[in-house]
Every structure is written in C-alpha cells, then in structure tokens.
Structure 1
Amino acid sequence: MKIIEVKGLTYRVRNFEILKNITFSVEKGEFVGIIGPNGAGKTTLVKILVGEIKDYEGKVVIRGRIGYLPQTQEVQREFPMTVREFAAMGMYGRSKRIDWEKVRSTLIGVGISHKENDLIRNLSGGEFQRLSLARALLSEPDILVLDEPEAGVDEMGKAAFYELLNRLRKERNITVVMVSHDIGMVFRECTTVMCLNRTLHCHGPTETISPDDLKKIFTDFDIWIRGPRHYEIFHREGKN
C-alpha cells in the first residue's frame, strides 16, 4: 500500500524554487533515507509532509498518522521535567488519561526506562534522541518522520539509533522517513534512498543507487567508497 504519494510538488519562496516538480511514493513499512547537500530542500520537504508548510503546488497524500522528530526541537532542557513526563506528552490529544504503563513499556522499547525518573537536562544527546523517539511513538504513528535525528550523537550511539529504528519499524509495522547526512548509515540501514537537490535526482532501493547517481546531487563534492556500500563525502576545496 502506498502510504505516501507526492505528485508534481513545487515550493517557491518569492520567485526562488526550493523544490521543483517532485514525484514519488512510499510503500507501507519502508525505511526511507533522504540525502542531499545543505540547502537541497530536505527539511522543506519534511515540513510539507508533516503539514507545517501548506502553500505548495502539486499533490501530497498521507495515508496515516505521522509522528515527527524535527531537526531542532524547541525544548528547554533546563525545565524541571522528568523523562517519563516528557515521553507522556506524546499521548496528549490522543487520550484523556495518561497510560503510564504504556509510557514505561515504550521507554523500555527505546532503551531508556532506567532513566524514567531522571530530569531531561541530565540526559546525553543520544539518550534525549531516544526519549524524543519514545514521545513520537506514543502518538501511535503509522509514519515516523525524522529530520537529522543523529545530529549531536556520537558514532556508536548513531549506529545503535539506526538499529533501534529498524527494529521498531519491523515490530510496529510503521514506515520511517528520515533526513540524514550520514550516507554510510543510510545505505547500510535504510531500504530505500531518495537523493534530493531541489528536485529528485534518484529514488529507489539502496542497492540500485550508485556513486555516479550521488555525484549528480553532490556537485561540489567528491564521493569516495570505503568498503561495500560505505560512502564518504569530501569537499573538493578542503581535500588535500
């Protein structure tokens, strides 16, 4: 089943095209990685999918409820809120009463139940991302949309986060759409890759995307391969 369908999507700010004539669909249960250089329109696309931007041209059909982890979360980490209280915010609007057993089971699922009574200000970057994921999951989404969720997380934590997303996707039968700058992780963990730079340059299963495809969107970068399907990007001006 096509859970997301986008046809002829164009978005302009004044006369400048941020996104141009984008068409794609996402099947239920896919793990989609969206990659592209800075300024490619990735966050704009995400904001359109979750309904934050509405003045676009074209057609966007979403068949299901969306859980969203934005790039910059407007949360005052110094606010005296516990982990369990923060996670429970995902249930607001879905239920008149907070199901604390469900909150705890979700915290167990993302691996931070041992922190449930801690204040959110005491969490590491990786722990806070897991907590934010728990909050999104408690909204019972069919589609989970994440905008660079691995930002500020170390390499070990990043790998664990991707593995967690994959496990939750399969266990809960949800669709994951994620913007990422970590090309290596995207090609290792995602089922599908979208290469975006204002328009959609390529879109398909990870094994069908080649380094030449990537060079079409990273025009100011060299792409190197280190091992099977592991991509690294170096800016040409900065490479020795």
Structure 2
Amino acid sequence: MSEATTLGQSIPSMIVVEGLRKSIRNGPRTVDILKGIDFTVPQGEFVAIMGASGSGKSTLLGLLAGLDTPSAGNVHLNGVAISYLAEDKLAQVRGKTIGFVFQSYQLIPTLTALENVLLPHELNSDSKDAAAGMARSRDLLTSVGLGDRLDHYPVQLSGGEQQRVALARAFVLRPPIVLADEPTGNLDSTNGAHVLELLLHLNRTEGTTLVLVTHDPVLATYANRRIVLRDGLVVADEVNANPAGLAETATVAS
C-alpha cells in the first residue's frame, strides 16, 4: 500500500485508484465514461469529487464502492485490490471497509430507525456481539439528535431525520472509509447544512477517510481536497489548505 508523508510521518493510503477506465456499449458505439484515472487518498482525508452531470463522478463512486467492475485498472481499499474479486469476497471487504451514504437515504421502510442502523451489524458475519451492536446503534442515533426517535419508521421521519439515520448506519461498523453520494442533495439548505455538520463531526470523531460526491462548490470548501472530473478525466486535484469550519458540536437537532 502506498503512503503519504506529513511532518515526517507516513500516513497509510486508504484508497488507491490505478488506471481506472469504464466503458459501456450503446448499440454499435462504445461510450467511454472514465478514461484512465489515477489518485490516492490518505487515511483520514476528506475528499470532495466534483464535476458536471455526465463527468463520471457517480460512476467513479460506484467503482470505489465495488458496486461495479471497471473496464480496466483497479481500486485498492485499505490495501485490498477489490475490482475483480469474487462477489462473496467483495461483500466481505465492503462490509468491513465501507460505509455508504446515499442521496435517497435507502432506508428499509419496514424497519425502525434503530433497526435500520443495526442492520449492517447483524449482516456482518464477524459482528457476533448483539449487545455491543445495539449499544453502538443507540449511541450513534443519539449523537445525530435522534435518541427519542429510535422506534420510529422512515415514513414517520422527515427527510433530514432519515438522512441522519443513514449517517448513523454508515458509521455503525466503524468503517475506515465512508463514501457519500450527494448526501445533502434531497434536503433544504437548513437540513443540508445540519447533515453536513453531522457527517464531518462523525468523520472527525471516528477517524474515517471520507469521499463525497457533490456538485455544490460551497460544500466542497469543507473538504481537505477537491478532485474535479470532466469528460471522464481528472482535470483538477487541489489541496484545500484552509477548509471551511463547522461547529464542533454535533448535538442537535430539533
């Protein structure tokens, strides 16, 4: 695994992308979505991936999550090359390595907020301690301001509350990497700012590596680094020396 160096100390690379390409057939034509992408994300970094619609950013995030297979190249997560793993092994790596926050929440409607957060713990074969999983789920929901909504179903929660449940679920197994796809895209500005604050708070307190896809340049100012895609290529990869700050506390939420 490659490493970055900061102040004389080596920082492990959590994500390594090598020569990543993705093409699809469209009738007689081949459409190149990603045209050869390389970058490395050190442990603990917050990276915003930006680009116009059709630039390839959502395809890239799907490849980082192991939800799709590249046409060429590879993705390494925490030292493991994932792009061509058998599905059972890939599922194991995903379960231990990645938390995912979707724009559309992706909560299971027949499960309560607590049950939705607990689900990754129950599905992970290495997570045998039910009591610890329950305590962790309750603590996370409390930390995002939903300690009094544990038994509510998604239909009983607002959009902002549902996204907070999704944040708690993404962090429940303490994954070293969290991927977020437009996590504030379906929210109004007040709820969006609040969800972003919570996401960054969890990122700091949990020590995760955070990769966030967004079209919002304001949101990207909070990242340590900004990678911009255009027509399937990286056209900018910029370090943000002074990321915007949010309130340190994430207790919230009314």
- TM-score (normalizing by structure 1): 0.80
| 1:36 paired residue number | 51
- What pairs with 1:111-122 in structure 2 (closer than 5 Å)? 111-122=145-156
Q: Indicate yes or no: 2:11 matched with 1:3.
A: no
Counterpart Cα distance in 1 of 2:158 and 2:216: 20
- What pairs with 1:19-30 in structure 2 (closer than 5 Å)? 19-30=34-45
Counterpart Cα distance in 1 of 2:71 and 2:77: 15
Q: Indicate yes or no: 2:116 matched with 1:86.
A: yes
Pairwise CA distance, 1:207? 5.1
Counterpart Cα distance in 2 of 1:93 and 1:127: 23
Given candidates 207, 211, 225, the residue that maps to 1:192 is 225
Q: Secondary structure of the residue that 2:36 maps to in structure 1?
A: strand
- What pairs with 1:1-240 in structure 2 (closer than 5 Å)? 1-14=12-25, 15-63=30-78, 65-75=97-107, 77=109, 79=110, 81-94=111-124, 95-98=127-130, 99-187=133-221, 189-197=222-230, 198-206=232-240
Identity of aligned residues (%): 32
Pairwise CA distance, 1:75? 4.4
Counterpart Cα distance in 2 of 1:55 and 1:6: 11
* Contact 2:105–2:166 (CA under 8 A) maintained in structure 1: no
The one-letter code sitting in structure 1 at the alignment partner of 2:31 is F
Note the aligned Cα RMSD (angstroms). 1.9
CA offsets 1:48-86 (integer angstroms, 9 cap, x no match): 001111143112111071111234455454x3x211111
Change (3 A) 1:75 1:130: closer
Could you tell me which runs of 5 or more consecutive residues in structure 1 were left unpaired when the two chains were aligned. Answer: 209-227, 229-240
* Contact 2:107–2:154 (CA under 8 A) maintained in structure 1: no
CA offsets 1:30-53 (integer angstroms, 9 cap, x no match): 111111111111111011001111
CA offsets 1:190-238 (integer angstroms, 9 cap, x no match): 1111101211111121359xxxxxxxxxxxxxxxxxxx9xxxxxxxxxx
Pairwise CA distance, 1:152? 1.4
* Contact 2:49–2:57 (CA under 8 A) maintained in structure 1: yes
Q: Secondary structure of the residue that 1:84 maps to in structure 2?
A: helix
Counterpart Cα distance in 1 of 2:179 and 2:23: 22
Counterpart Cα distance in 1 of 2:107 and 2:148: 22
The one-letter code sitting in structure 1 at the alignment partner of 2:207 is N
* Contact 1:90–1:137 (CA under 8 A) maintained in structure 2: no
The one-letter code sitting in structure 2 at the alignment partner of 1:56 is S
